[in-house]
Structure 1
Amino acid sequence: MLPSAVVTVLNDPIARAQAYLLSHQAPEGHWVGELEANTTITSEYLLLCHLIDRVDRPKEAKAVRYLRRAQLSDGGWSLFEGGPANLSATIKAYFAMRMAGVSVDDPALAAARERIREMGGPVRADVFTKILLALFGEYDWNGVPAMPVEIMLLPRPFFLFNIYEVSYWSRTVIVPLLIIMDRKPVKWLPPHLALDELWPEPREKTSLRFPRVPKPFSWRTLFWKNFFIAVDDGLKIWERFTTRPLRKRAVEAARVWLEERLAVPGGLGGIYPAMANSILAMRVLGYADDHPLVLGQIKEIEALAVETHEELHYQPCPSPVWDTALAINALIESDLPPTHAALRRAAEWLIDRQILVPGDWQVKRPHVRPGGWAFQYHNDFYPDLDDTAMVLMALEKVHGLDTDAARLAKERGLGWLLGMQGEDGGWASFDADNKRLYLNNIPFADHGALLDPSTEDLTGRCLELLGTLGYHREFEPAQRALHFLRHTQRHDGPWYGRWGVNYIYGTWSVLRGLRAIGEDLRHEYVQRAVRWLERRQNRDGGWGETCESYDDPEFAGVGESTPSQTAWALLGLFAAGRTSGRTVERGIEYLLRTQRSDGSWDDRLWNGTGFPRVFYLKYHLYAKYFPLWALGIYRRAQA
């Protein structure tokens, strides 16, 4: 097909996609789509309502209908669409339905019960599930890893552990948990609600000891795992004999830390688990149910609800800053005029969301001035590098803004981003140099997501920003980032994706960064990534990757095609100079074929990553702006 004919074919799909996106802009100027998670958030919410005596039976019934619909044919509940049953998710859903009044003889619960027992029962569940069960007296607190509240008193440079050596999401969950686990409260259930039926063997005969052999096995992790199990044994003794004045000081330190962060809008850390734990911690400390700090967290949680006439479920957090920055980039890259009123309104909304106050990140970077953006509407203590980079690229592309305000916002944002580069040359999400990987072996960290190290996708994004702002590969921070990326590339070509599924996401992020910063795209390591993307194209012309690739690298780049992942692959190929050829044409044909009449696309499968192997997400707007972005760049290249 001649280039002029290609452009003509693309004009209508692009115009319809732009119109769809513009029609979903909020009156305030931003975009925000649903951030869908698995059933665990909704199950935990139902159980939280019982713990704090705020059960709303009509809403509970709607949530139970949602849980029923999400149940797998084998009786379990999964962590992502198309995934296998997960023990912890299944226990939480089962427990929530029992507490909602569903009969133990109900076929859904009978099937779930059998699946739970097959998978090993509560003793094989993750730590957070055990803690939730312990709060109802359904798990022995002695079987939960020790987390003494005295951790709050450890000095920041302490070599082994302190709260600033773990990620922000871990920190905001752990600090209120320290208060809870110090008091070990129990809301005892009536006998008919006890969960004895979930234990394959009688619970009094079941060992609650932590497994000592790591999976996957390595001698290094075997050492650290058993070292920390021994530490846990010692901490349990410490908890019994520590002096009360010391413990009182530690609880007060945790309370003060918590109050400081609850006083700002958005909820603790802007995420459901931290907010829920903070409510329980405040109640344990004696705060009244109608205390403004308690009510504030409840209000933030209720704002996460997605309710229809029949069902109710909960998001982990909102994503307005991220969605808005990506929508702006997609619209401009598909040639919506950069002076368009919708883009100016969105950019002004973003400028107003810039965070100019200190946060936890300053512990590691005390001399860096604030200037980042958070993911949510409000999360002043926890701006992140990914949002900041994407926002700054959006602001650089929009025209017609207040010159001084935009310039100052970009200067502050870039200064913060450069100041947060890690010692290894990469960028992490929320903190710098949060990389004590041995801490992932403590019994409490069985989820393996305790830390926030530098990642390939973030580093690629920051390189793309620097290139967009006119910096070149000789710029010293860029040199360090390039070194990081060359050393973290997988042997067969792709890069890992921490925040999107998975290697396709990481690879497009890096390739766009390499192109923007002026790297020689003829380098073998770049071409290796290109060849990997080309090999992973599906027969239908699209690309897809299952969340299972986080557990088994053999699934890297393997999965049912989705519009978002197809767009990422195409954007990566375009960045590497591949804007023609049959591979690209088939990818474009897939996007045109799967576009809906209203101009949108839909991802059937999950496309985002909260915590690899533990918690996955579906960004509902990803399939609305990423395909548009890819089509726009392709049209521009053909023209």
Structure 2
Amino acid sequence: MREQFGSAVPAIVSVGSLELDQQNEEISQQSITQLEQQLSLTAEALLRKQHADGYWCGDLTADSTLASDYVLLQLWLFPPEEGGAWTPPRAQRTAKLVRYLKACQLADGGWNLFAQGEADVNATVKAYTALKIMGEDVDSRCMRAARERILELGGLQACNSYTKINLSLFGLFPREFVPTVPAEIMIVPGSFLYEMSSWTRTIIVPLSIIQGLGAQRTAPSGMTLQELIYPGSPITMPRRDLTSELFLHADKLLKHWERRGVQKIRGRAIAAAERWMLEHLQHSEGLGAIYPSMMYAIMAMDSLGYERDQPDMIEAIRHFDELLLEREDSIEFQPCKSPVWDTAIAAFALGETGEIDATAMTRAADWLLSKEVRRKGDWSAKRPNLRPSGWAFEFANDFYPDIDDTAMVLLALQHIRASNPERQARAEQRAIDWLLGMQSADGGWAAFDVDNDWQLLNKVPFADHNAMLDPTCADITGRVLEALSKRGLGPKHPTIARGVLYLLSSQEPNGSWYGRWGVNYVYGTFLAMRGLIATGDPRAHSAVEKAARWLLSVQNEDGGWGESCVSYEVDRFVAAQSTPTQTAWALVGLMACGKTRSSQVQKGVQWLLANQRADGDWDEALTTGTGFPNVFYLSYHLYRMYFPALALATYRSELTRPALSVQF
């Protein structure tokens, strides 16, 4: 029995459909013509979204916590006046923030982390706090409902460490009950800092400066959050197991050190953190080019006494403000920008369609080549002799090229040609070499680093954000195997062989694979399947067939596929209403192993065609991107276009090939 999540699929006027002869499973020529027309419609819509410089960059949105954190940053930069009153710097923007947060509130009074999800205590506490800071009456209906929901969820005590840390910076949560992030980690011998995930690294370095300096701001006059404390439950540090208990004792020692430690050592550590932060601001759209790190970097520079007109501060604030999607009557926030990712997938999908405007594709190739990272980044701490290459996710983030983007760019460059073919060939070879060098010891690939799997770090007090490490995962490994295999590396190549074994060993008993960076098992499964099939390794045959059976077993009755973010909470597939993105993922995986002519695939294709809008786009109600499972999810606004385009293009192409069970 499958779990079902989400509302029923809304009625949508069909644009087109397939005519299937059930007896011989052949598609009529009329239907193929209809398919080609709708595929062209999508390709044209995608090309219209290409920027003049050659790239694509769709909106990338998340949940309400980004807006709530923005309010805290404004309170930090523009503290209350001497009498305690707070006058926000931009009244019009504040009004938009209030409207936005109220619009995101659920009927039960809470705020969630993903579309159609249940209330989350951290998101709800953050929204309540932001609204209270902005002057919302605590007796208003929305605030009363929020307060009741927070207490139902366990109160302030139930929040994670980072929520409590943020509140403590304004005196809204006791400092003694939040984890210490010691600046002294910057002067610990060895590579301790680089055992943490890249995103944790860029968060804790500026945060260690803020805490190390004892920096704090006041909330507006008389403001507390005492009403959110769950009655009868003590405020304590989280205790999970014996190892965590030992870290809590260490945290007590660190707090004692903060009060009585040798200031010379503390000063040297803070100076080292500042140098690291300033270095990592170079060749980047802000620290780590991601929202939380950028926010803490601004707060850290302010704590260090940087004036607002200092170049580093000006640039940091400018890049942060560029994440805002502010319109005349609304506001929304992006956790980062996704131009390399969007460009690579859009170009790959368009290449598969054959609907290629040569000039547009050359611009895309030239733009991608201009974004290759040729400097050594944090990854080189464990691979010091590896020649730098790779692509970052954002416009500029040179310390953090990532493996997934690099593999996707390689796949895209199969279809598009730059104005300088020799330059393209050299870049492709560098990228291949870099990917080969970034394989972890277990045979898989992670997002940013090699062997970033020191499990002990998951026990530190501030590790409850579920993102201390960057372990290898099936989805990235599958994409890398596909990219390398299509560059001529065969199944006997040792890197490919180890990657195949990694995927075979990480397959779930039901045939699926866990998806780290997309929701969830549908995402991981389609990429693992494509990677295994691309290698041509006969050992993968039964695993791929098992995966195909699993995908077919979770197809919705309407022909599409949909999976809820709840699947991360319960560690198993949870069905949801069909989405264009997840339907496309499933179809691409199934077609890769020869299921194109199956009635299930044709039903899925029909779902895509029937739900396409007249402008070539699709509507998507659910969240399909993953930032940090159970903590942070992403809505890529171009996913619903370029993944269906890829699925429809693959379908058209596969119809001309012989029907095989698995193509090895």
What TM bracket, shorter-length normalisation? over 0.9
1:270 is the counterpart of 2:289: yes
Alignment of 1:120-131 (within 5 A): 120-131=154-165
Which residue pairs with 2:234 in the alignment?
Answer: 207
Which residue pairs with 1:219 in the alignment?
Answer: none
* 2:121/2:150 contact within 8 Å kept: yes
Which residue pairs with 1:576 in the alignment?
Answer: 593
Which residue pairs with 1:595 in the alignment?
Answer: 612
- The structure 1 residue matched to 2:75, chosen from 32, 50, 61, is 50
Which residue pairs with 1:19 in the alignment?
Answer: 44
Q: Which amino acid aligns with 1:360?
A: D
1:614 is the counterpart of 2:631: yes
Greater mean deviation of Cα atoms: 222-231 or 71-80? 222-231
Shift of 1:211: 3.3
Which residue pairs with 1:297 in the alignment?
Answer: 316
Q: Distance in 2 between matches of 1:206 and 1:151?
A: 33
Q: Distance in 1 between matches of 2:538 and 2:99?
A: 54
- The structure 2 residue matched to 1:85, chosen from 119, 141, 166, is 119
Shift of 1:400: 5.8
RMSD: 1.5
Shift of 1:206: 5.6
1:627 is the counterpart of 2:661: no
Alignment of 1:81-480 (within 5 A): 81-157=115-191, 162-201=192-231, 207-213=234-240, 222-337=241-356, 340-399=358-417, 401-480=419-498
Q: Which amino acid aligns with 2:614?
A: S
* 1:543/1:557 contact within 8 Å kept: no
Greater mean deviation of Cα atoms: 111-120 or 82-91? 111-120
Shift of 1:567: 0.2
* 1:496/1:502 contact within 8 Å kept: yes
1:490 is the counterpart of 2:517: no
Shift of 1:135: 1.2
CA shift digits 1:243-266 (9 cap, x unpaired): 111111101110110111123331
Which residue pairs with 2:659 in the alignment?
Answer: none
Shift of 1:521: 7.8
Unaligned runs of 5+ residues in structure 2 are 1-19, 21-25, 79-87, 657-664
* 1:31/1:327 contact within 8 Å kept: yes
Q: Which amino acid aligns with 2:123?
A: A
Shift of 1:625: 0.4
Q: Which amino acid aligns with 2:585?
A: W
Distance verdict in 2 for CA 1:370–1:400, change over 3 Å: closer
Shift of 1:191: 4.0
* 1:504/1:557 contact within 8 Å kept: no
Q: Distance in 1 between matches of 2:217 and 2:651?
A: 59
Distance verdict in 2 for CA 1:190–1:345, change over 3 Å: closer
CA shift digits 1:364-400 (9 cap, x unpaired): 1000111110000000110000000000111122136
Shift of 1:527: 1.3
Shift of 1:238: 3.2
CA shift digits 1:182-224 (9 cap, x unpaired): 12322222444222222233xxx863322324xxxxxxxx333
- The structure 1 residue matched to 2:98, chosen from 46, 50, 64, is 64
Q: Distance in 2 between matches of 1:256 and 1:41?
A: 27
Q: Distance in 2 between matches of 1:188 and 1:371?
A: 45
1:30 is the counterpart of 2:55: yes
Partner secondary structure for residue 383 of structure 1: coil
TM-score (norm 2): 0.91
Partner secondary structure for residue 401 of structure 2: coil
Structure holding more helix per residue: 1
Which residue pairs with 2:578 in the alignment?
Answer: 561
CA shift digits 1:252-306 (9 cap, x unpaired): 1101101111233311000010011001111111111221111111101111111
Partner secondary structure for residue 294 of structure 2: helix
Q: Distance in 2 between matches of 1:163 and 1:113?
A: 38
Which residue pairs with 1:216 in the alignment?
Answer: none
Q: Distance in 2 between matches of 1:37 and 1:318?
A: 12
Shift of 1:563: 0.4
Partner secondary structure for residue 575 of structure 2: coil
* 2:133/2:220 contact within 8 Å kept: no
* 1:82/1:605 contact within 8 Å kept: yes
Q: Which amino acid aligns with 2:603?
A: R
Distance verdict in 2 for CA 1:192–1:104, change over 3 Å: farther
CA shift digits 1:141-180 (9 cap, x unpaired): 11111222111111225xxxx2110011000000000011
Which residue pairs with 2:553 in the alignment?
Answer: 535
* 2:504/2:540 contact within 8 Å kept: no
Partner secondary structure for residue 606 of structure 2: helix
Q: Distance in 2 between matches of 1:40 and 1:299?
A: 20
Distance verdict in 2 for CA 1:189–1:211, change over 3 Å: closer
Q: Distance in 1 between matches of 2:255 and 2:518?
A: 38
Aligned residue pairs: how many?
622
Q: Which amino acid aligns with 1:55?
A: P
Partner secondary structure for residue 551 of structure 1: helix
**Percent identical residues:** 45
Shift of 1:232: 2.2
TM-score (norm 1): 0.95
CA shift digits 1:461-510 (9 cap, x unpaired): 10000111122111110001011111111111111111100010001111
Q: Distance in 2 between matches of 1:264 and 1:581?
A: 49
- The structure 1 residue matched to 2:66, chosen from 41, 51, 60, is 41
Greater mean deviation of Cα atoms: 189-198 or 57-66? 189-198
Which residue pairs with 1:546 in the alignment?
Answer: 564
Which residue pairs with 2:660 in the alignment?
Answer: none
Partner secondary structure for residue 558 of structure 1: strand
* 2:362/2:419 contact within 8 Å kept: yes
Distance verdict in 2 for CA 1:401–1:517, change over 3 Å: farther
Partner secondary structure for residue 558 of structure 2: coil
Distance verdict in 2 for CA 1:85–1:557, change over 3 Å: closer
* 1:6/1:635 contact within 8 Å kept: no
Q: Distance in 1 between matches of 2:135 and 2:42?
A: 45
Partner secondary structure for residue 523 of structure 1: helix
Q: Which amino acid aligns with 2:243?
A: W
Shift of 1:359: 0.6
Q: Which amino acid aligns with 1:114?
A: E
- The structure 2 residue matched to 1:8, chosen from 33, 57, 79, is 33
Q: Distance in 2 between matches of 1:367 and 1:357?
A: 12
* 2:343/2:364 contact within 8 Å kept: yes
Unaligned runs of 5+ residues in structure 1 are 214-221
Q: Which amino acid aligns with 2:165?
A: I
Q: Which amino acid aligns with 2:652?
A: R
Q: Which amino acid aligns with 1:172?
A: T
* 2:324/2:331 contact within 8 Å kept: yes
